Structure 1
Amino acid sequence: MRVVHEASALADALALTREEARRAFGNPEVYIEKFLTHPRHVEIQVLADRYGHAVWLGSRDCSLQRRHLSLIHISEPTRPRLISYAVFCLKKKKKHHIS
């Protein structure tokens, strides 16, 4: 795994990473994604019914984790765009439960 901060260093870093993957796994394919310096794990709770209604119940920051388990859940201020999108997605999927 490598973090590349400059576009000019990407080709060399990719070549090194592909070679490491080939040696370690017999396959040079790698996955590239944007590096986030301070990511947050935010959960949005939404309740939906079979009639297309959905409401936001709350949100929490679950960023403090150990072994993929949240250690602390902190309620946080409303994030309107994130909440609207969560409600929209649940309505689109026609889910009838709490997500």
Structure 2
Amino acid sequence: MQRSGYGPDGIYRSLRPSLALPNNPNLSLVSFLFTSVSSSPNKTALIDADSSQTLSFSQLKTQVAKLAHSLLNFGINKNDIYLMLLFIRGMV
């Protein structure tokens, strides 16, 4: 069994199976991520590798909504281009 995702061409490819992504070009990433929140709100969405803290899909959706509203309060609107650079605790 292959232990690394690096192929002979030097390109890294995940060892996990490919995901089936929706074909709808008008489906946003947020809509795609949160389509099943109501059926499993407590399912784990993110895990912090250092602390093992988890965030459920319901909690993540709340945080995404708060961030979106904050950006609107800064005057950033749909179709604006915005770069966000985050420094995470413990990372250089």
Q: Which TM-score bucket, shorter chain as reference?
A: under 0.3
The structure in which a higher percent of residues are strand is: 1
Query: In terms of Rg, which structure is larger?
Result: 1
Q: Which has the bigger relative contact order, CA under 8 A and spacing at least 6? A: 1
The structure with the greater share of residues assigned to helix is 1
